[in-house]
Amino acid sequence: MTQAHGSVADILSAARLIPVLTIERLDRAVPLARALVAGGVRTLEITLRTAAGADAAAAIQAEVPEAIVGLGTVVRRQDLELAQRLKLPFAFSPGATPELLDAAVELGVPFIPGVGTASELIASMARGFTTVKLFPAEQVGGVGMLKALSGPFPSARFNPTGGVSPANMRDYLALKNVVAVGGSWLATPADIEASDWAGITAKCESAMAGARA
């Protein structure tokens, strides 16, 4: 599943930080993406939690070429078909149902399933998905969980999301089996609603400096 931007693991490894973006209004999408890119954050997860999500992803893809746009909150086959139509380089899910995994294989979508147990990880890896989202990361064991999984699953790579913050992101990024972390703190719904583009850029610059340290 190789795309113009590289494999899913390559994209996430290069990004290190993936903002989880919930966009309520389409007119916020492009200025938000430009603010993130200005702060050094180019790889963006646009969630399908709102009615504007799909159109926001398409608008950013069309108007902010510096951004690498993927979908989040992918929970149905139709969501995978949307990612396929838009030719997006990745699609995140909070879960890993057999139906969703099988659809991603069938459609050839660069898919990152969400796992919270070893069984879900086994099911994902059996279908070829070795890069997964640990979700909700803090609630299912966080850094300790990832260390435990590294023994029986040495080839698995993780993007922990859920409870990741500036206070603990470096603990996650220090792990060899973590390619990137995700979180909403870089651009919260309140930040987006307030059009605080300068504040978002500043948070991104600070976070990226911490991620590289």
Give the DSSP per-residue string, 78-140.
HHHHHHHHHT-S-EE-S---HHHHHHHHHHT--EE-EESSHHHHHHHHHTT--EEEETTTTTT
| Tokens found for residue 174 | 């220090």
The pLDDT of residue 3 is 52
- The ranges assigned to domains in the chain are 8-204
CB 158 within 8 A of CB 140: no
CB 39 within 8 A of CB 12: no
**pLDDT value at 6 more than 80:** no
The pLDDT of residue 110 is 97
The pLDDT of residue 120 is 98
The pLDDT of residue 4 is 61
**Which range is least confidently modeled, 2-6, 43-47, 61-65, 152-156?**
2-6
**pLDDT value at 1 more than 60:** no
Q: Just list the catalytic residues.
A: 45, 133
Q: What is the pLDDT of residues 87-119, one digit of tens each?
A: 999 999 999 999 999 999 999 999 999 999 999
Average pLDDT estimate for 152-171: 97
Q: For residue 183, report the phi and psi dihedrals to the nearest 5 degrees.
A: -175, 165
**What pTM did the predictor assign?**
0.95
Average pLDDT estimate for 37-49: 98
Q: What is the pLDDT of residues 51-68, one digit of tens each?
A: 999 999 999 999 999 999
Q: Is the dihedral of CA 56, 58, 59, 61 positive or negative?
A: positive
CATH homologous superfamily of 8-204 equals Aldolase class I (3.20.20.70)
C-alpha span between 110 and 127 (Å, rounded): 12
pLDDT band, very low/low/confident/very high, at 142 (cuts 50, 70, 90) = very high
Task: Assign 198 to helix, strand or coil.
Answer: helix
C-alpha span between 81 and 75 (Å, rounded): 11
**pLDDT value at 213 more than 80:** no
Number of H helices and number of E strands within the chain? Answer: 10, 9
pLDDT band, very low/low/confident/very high, at 139 (cuts 50, 70, 90) = very high
C-alpha span between 19 and 54 (Å, rounded): 16
Of all residues in the chain, what percent carry a pLDDT higher than 70? 98
